[in-house]
Amino acid sequence: MSRAMRTPEPYFSRIKELRSEIERRRLDAYFVQDRMDQYWLTGFTGEDGGVLVTPRQVVLLTDGRFDEAADHEAPWARKVLRKKRGPEATIRELRRLRARRVGFNGGHMSVSEFNALRKLGKPIRLVPIPSAIQPRRAVKTPGEVARIRKAVVVAEQAFDAVRKWLRPGLTEREIAARLAYEMRQRGAQGEAFPSIVAVGPNSSLPHYEPGDRRLTETEPLLVDWGARVDWYGSDLTRVVWLGSIPAQLRKVFDVVREAQARGIEAVRPGVRAAAVDRAARQVIDKAGFGKRFNHALGHGIGLVGHEAPRLGKLSTDVLEPGMVITIEPGIYLPGVGGVRLEDDVLVTETGHEVLSTLPLSFA
């Protein structure tokens, strides 16, 4: 565990970028608290952690439980094992580093913690800098894209296994449990987020928790799921019918499929995320279902379920090569059912690549 050890990639580049932000903002240090920010920046996976970055040093605060993990994952950082959570160790290190102006993400620090740090740390000043890390996470390295690809494959294989096992009478909860199991058996750490498994009218609720409703031959089954593999997640949605599709939902399905195709076509570097949303939304508006598509077209994926960029009407984000986003239009008919189709799409240098490969319908 030599402190002189060189910081490996991709962490070296990321820390360098953060350091240029530190310089631009005239900070002495930046305090990273979010676990996934910390992982992205250093590779350290411990549950208890905090990272202090200065122009010359990287300090990793954790506790004894993650001592071994710290040595293994970020041996090039200065490791500080603290006896308890709380402001003491952080302030001690900031004093040792002679840091006076310290940036942090105000969305990741509680009022209690802020007050405790401020009280103990006088005259250290904590400066909220929200955009030091999160927007940078939106553009993925090839290594990150490779992990998302794996998460897509695992999710798709698990879905195929579950689809073959589906039969009338299974509850939403049983199907969700089976899907999680199949993903984990294929190497997933777990679900990327709690799956939505919704039968019949439940499929018209965009955020539904699986319950006791049973699968039938005449109602749609909507599944919105993803796998987390090596910390990176996928996010897919399909609708399945065991029998034939009722005419009303067949029409809706066709509109959603067309909207998704238009959305995906619009994905390329330099395009505004709001324009991609509009490309898909226009199809649904024209078909007369505009009010039944009441959420954004998509969002970035990666270390958490929803990351930057946001693909909504009011988004100011612009797509860049390396972003991985979902395209997921939906139409929801209360009391009847909903159709959403969701795929994961990589923004490439010249356009896009759809990472997911499942067919849209399973008739």
By CB under 8 A, name the binding residues for its own copies: 47, 64-66, 68, 104-115, 128, 130, 173-174, 176-178, 180-181, 184-185, 187, 189-190, 194, 205-207, 209, 294
CA 253, CA 32: separation in Å to the nearest integer?
A: 44
CA distance 217 to 243: 5
Alpha-carbon distance values, 334 to 71, 203, 206, 276 (Å): 53, 9, 11, 26
What's the full length of the chain, in residues?
Answer: 363
Min CB(310)–its own copies separation in Å: 12
Q: Is 41 exposed, middle or buried (0-12, 13-18, 19+ CB in 10 A)?
A: buried
CA 61 to chain CA centroid, Å, is 25
Beta bridge partners of 61: 50, 80
Exposure of 39 in the CB half-sphere (CA atoms within 13 A):
15
CB 105 within 8 A of CB 127: no
What is the rounded distance in angstroms from the CA atom of residue 285 to the CA atom of residue 276? 14
**Nearer residue to its own copies within complex by CB, 114 or 362:** 114
**Closest CB to its own copies among 150 and 352?**
150
Smallest gap from residue 229 Cβ to its own copies (A): 11
Contacts of 330 (CB under 8 A, 6+ apart): 206, 237, 256, 293, 295, 338, 339, 340, 341
In the chain, the largest separation of any two C-alpha atoms, in whole Å, equals 70
Whichever of 174 and 353 has its CB closer to its own copies, that residue is 174
Closer residue to its own copies in complex, CB, 192/279? 192
Closer to its own copies by CB, 140 or 340: give it. 340
Q: Which is nearer to its own copies, 38 or 105 (CB)?
A: 105
Residue 199 Cβ vs its own copies, minimum distance, rounded to whole Å = 16
- Decide whether 339 or 347 has the Cβ nearer to its own copies: 339
Q: Shortest gap between Cβ of 82 and its own copies (angstroms)?
A: 14
Of the two residues 248 and 294, which places its CB atom closer to its own copies in the complex? 294
In the bound complex, what is the minimum distance in angstroms from residue 109's beta carbon to its own copies?
Answer: 5
Least CB distance from residue 336 to its own copies, whole Å?
Answer: 15
Task: Provide the b/e sequence for 87-117 (b: ≥16 CB within 10 Å).
Answer: bebbbebbeebebeebbbbeebbeeebeebb
Q: How far is the CB of 30 from its own copies (least distance, A)?
A: 15
Q: Residue 114, SS3? A: helix
Nearer to its own copies, 30 or 66 (CB): 66
Task: Report how far residue 17's alpha carbon sits from residue 135's, in angstroms, rounded to the nearest whole number.
Answer: 12
Q: Shortest Cβ distance from residue 267 to its own copies (Å)?
A: 25
Shortest distance in whole angstroms from residue 296 CB to its own copies = 12
What is the C-alpha separation between 275 and 209, in angstroms, rounded? 31
- The DSSP bridge partners found for residue 344 are 326
